Amino acid sequence: MPRAPFLGEVKLFWCEYCNVPLLSSKCSKCGREGVGNGIIKVPITPPGDVRPAFECDLKLIRSIVNRDYGSRVGDRVVPGDKIVLLNRAPDIDRMDEVIIDGKVIGMIRYDLKRQNWEFLPKISGARRLYMYGARKWIKIDKGAADAILNGLNLLIPGIVDLDQNIKREDNVIIVNERSEVIATGRSKISARELKYLEKGLAVKVREASPPVNERINPGGQTWHDVLEANSEFLEKEEQKSISLIRKVVRKYKKDVTVAFSGGKDSLATLLLAMKALDTSFKILYVDTGIEFPETVKYSEKIFDLLGVKRNVLRKHVSENVFWNLTEKFGPPGRDFRFCCKTNKLGPIAQLISSHFKNGCITLIGVRRYESERRARDASIWENPWVPNQIAFSPIRNWTALHVWLYIFREGLPYNPLYEFGFTRLGCWLCPAMRLGDISIIRASHKDLWEKWETFLVNWADKHDLNSDWLKYGLWRWKNPPESLLRSLSISDISKLKSKSSKRTPLSCTVIIGPEGCNRDIFSANGIISPGNIDLRILSVYLTPLGHVYLSNKLNVIRLLAKDGSLTCYIYEDGSFKVISRKQMTMDVFAKKVRSFVKQLLLTILRAKNCTKCGICSSKCPEKAITIFNGKFMINSNLCKHCGLCIQNCPVNLLQDNLLVSFVQ
């Protein structure tokens, strides 16, 4: 199991008197303050990004418990008149701790191997399950009970009795001879097998604790009670964030924008901006072309409701952009996320370049508790893919529960997708999704997912990828992590690698030596495979490398390198020749050629795979690059050959698709 990352101080308290969660150790509802005075600190697993359990979450938990432990048991363990929280816990796939009455009663987990949800009870949850007549129990003798409480697993000889419904790998409840719950674990035998076995491992114990009486608090709480209990804390946090926004805006003296995506974090950020700045800002909104339909509809609804429609700068990306990209590159991966740059960051960069000549500061709803990478980021940063933007997150130190309580307090509608069970919103086929999330999409947006699955099946057939690649969602990586493959007991990865590793590489062999009998002039001859180069298109993209001359009559490009030391001739069959124009040693020439050829191949790769995303245009300090009506153009009179457009092109993600060898 992955380690639990520390992304910030884990703060979740509970008022036992009011039976509600707290974001600080003070309950504004009853006035109690300080741990030990009716206030407890809930021992949740880091990072501690706690959120409310919506009705869809409650139904899922109850259905799983009812399925595994007996009809109606789930309805009693997870009642409808109490506040229930979920806390994201580290695991191979999706797993959440379930918190009721200030206790973690268990985890709801998506099992990758079985492709199904399961409920893993903690001791508190196991006691509640057993109290309400749950199945899947095992009764043990005193010797076995003592051994388990000393950290050992349960062996077969220690079993006195057990539920006859138990199967291998079931999550079970272990009770002593007095029917007191002392442990939980995973069964390694079935009840039927026990009849034939006399020794061996029976249960791998997950958690053990001496027997105590389980305290179950009375119900009747609502989210209104939670808001009242956290009212003072929320007010302080709001004022702190508003003050930070005003301070940052005064410091940078730039036009202010707010990034809006349709999710809860961007909604909270937008509300804070409105309170801090009134409406003296613009809203950056990009429809990536692969958004959930509900997100697009909700975004327009909230703009209208808040009266900020005139503030919105929109950019709509055709869905064809993504589908054309995947036909070229294959599925996007967590380690190969080209779509983020082409469908989101590029369009944002274009919006900023078009409307803010001096750049802008953008308020973004990014939180440290979301990921280790975001926890390392500062509150103010610059994204290399979005030039002329200073980004600032006023909710960086908020947990998901902070955000949700703030939205509840403001009484605004939130994206309805959260009611489906989604914990994060974005493109509906994002590789950052877990299989647990995908199972929700399959159920809630069948047509969308069938479209994506059809593509994946065709891609797998075309590239000879085995069934595990699709079954376990391994398309979400270019190189699937070893920890995931181990957990799935997959050792042969020869038919699991996709994307550029399965695409025909751009290969080139270059021979370097004297030019004929002239020992003072050196040349390099090479041929690129596959060839068939469109010289007319390539000539436009070559401008950053130097001065370009295209001869339609001779079907050749002559390229004079930007420092004037090399001349390169490129032919449509993929062959090329580089000649030295200045006196230099063979070693110096070889070094220059190696660097030049790499830039040449990257440029050819760029010309073949350009998505017209606009990132290069926003990066160009001379504004020499324009994209108009889907056409890429470089003004050779403005271009200073700095190469920034090549360095920052998303196509560089395909660099490992270049195979170059030099012979000297």
Specify the pLDDT at position 659. Answer: 74
For residue 499, pLDDT over 50 is answered with: no
User: For the segment 84-124, what is each residue's pLDDT rounded down to a tens digit?
Assistant: 999 999 999 999 999 999 999 999 999 998 899 999 999 99
User: Which pLDDT value is given to residue 651?
Assistant: 73
pLDDT at residue number 373:
57
Query: Is a pLDDT exceeding 90 seen at residue 452?
Result: yes
Report pLDDT digits (tens) over 27-38.
999 999 999 889
What are the backbone dihedrals phi and psi of residue 413, each rounded to the nearest 5 degrees, phi first? -70, 145
Whole-angstrom distance, CA of residue 303 vs CA of residue 258: 12
- Residue 497, pLDDT score: 60
Residue 225 scores a pLDDT above 60: yes
pLDDT tops 80 at residue 401: yes
The answer to whether residue 509 scores a pLDDT higher than 90 is no
Residue ranges, CATH 3.40.50.620, the chain: 230-420
Q: How high is the mean pLDDT of the chain?
A: 89
Under the banding of pLDDT at 50, 70 and 90, the label for residue 53 is very high
Handedness of CA 524, 526, 532, 537 (dihedral sign): negative
In the chain, which residues fall in CATH 2.30.130.10?
50-208
Q: State yes or no: cis peptide before 413, omega within 30 of 0.
A: no
> In the predicted model, is pLDDT for residue 6 greater than 50?
no
Closest to 61 (Cα-Cα) out of 114, 18, 100: 100
Q: Is 16 helix (H, G, I), strand (E, B) or coil?
A: coil
Task: Specify the higher pLDDT residue, 407 or 664.
Answer: 407
Which pLDDT tens digit goes with each residue over 271-306? 999 999 988 999 999 999 999 999 999 999 999 999
Residue with tokens 């030990």: 36
As a whole number, mean pLDDT of residues 396-408 equals 96
pLDDT of 458 reads 93
User: What CATH architecture is 506-663?
Assistant: 2-Layer Sandwich (3.30)
Write down the pLDDT at residue 631: 84
Q: What is the pLDDT of residue 519?
A: 59
Predicted confidence at residue 153, as pLDDT, reads 97
528 burial (CB, 10 Å; 0-12 / 13-18 / 19+) is buried
Closest CA to 49 of 83, 9, 3: 9
Contacts of 508 (CB under 8 A, 6+ apart): 526, 527, 528, 529, 597, 601, 658, 659, 660, 661
What value does the mean pLDDT take over residues 422-431?
Answer: 89
Specify the pLDDT at position 485.
86
Cβ neighbours of residue 189 closer than 8 Å, sequence gap 6 or more: 156, 168, 197, 200, 201, 202
In CATH terms, the fold of domain 50-208 is 2.30.130
pLDDT at 1: 52
121-135, 460-474, 528-542 — most confident range? 121-135
CB neighbour list of residue 515: distance below 8 Å, 6 or more residues apart: 521, 522, 523, 579, 580
- Name 318's bridge partners: none
Q: pLDDT tens for residues 323-369?
A: 988 887 789 888 878 888 888 888 898 899 889 989 999 999 999 87
562 is written with which tokens? 């930007």
Give residue 502's pLDDT.
46
Asked whether residue 396 carries a pLDDT value surpassing 50, the answer given is yes
Tokens standing for residue 393: 């997150």
In whole angstroms, give the CA distance from residue 652 to residue 632. 17
User: What would the pLDDT profile of 142-198 be if each residue is shown by its tens digit?
Assistant: 999 999 999 999 999 999 999 999 999 999 999 999 999 999 999 999 999 988 898
**Model pTM score:** 0.85
Query: How many CB atoms lie under 10 A from the CB of residue 419?
Result: 14
- Phi, psi angles (nearest 5°) of residue 332: -70, 150
Considering 65-74, 568-577, 586-595, 628-637, the range whose residues carry the highest mean pLDDT is 65-74
* Greatest Cα-to-Cα distance within the chain, rounded to the nearest angstrom: 99
Q: Is pLDDT at 375 greater than 60 in this prediction? A: no
pLDDT band at residue 377 using 50, 70 and 90 as cut-offs: low
Distance between CA 647 and CA 382 in Å, rounded?
17
pLDDT at 501 (0 to 100): 44
**C-alpha to C-alpha distance for 318 and 290, rounded to whole angstroms:** 8
- CATH number for the domain formed by residue range(s) 230-420: 3.40.50.620
Of 500, 572, 564, 569, nearest to 534 (Cα)?
572
Task: Write down the pLDDT at residue 517.
Answer: 55
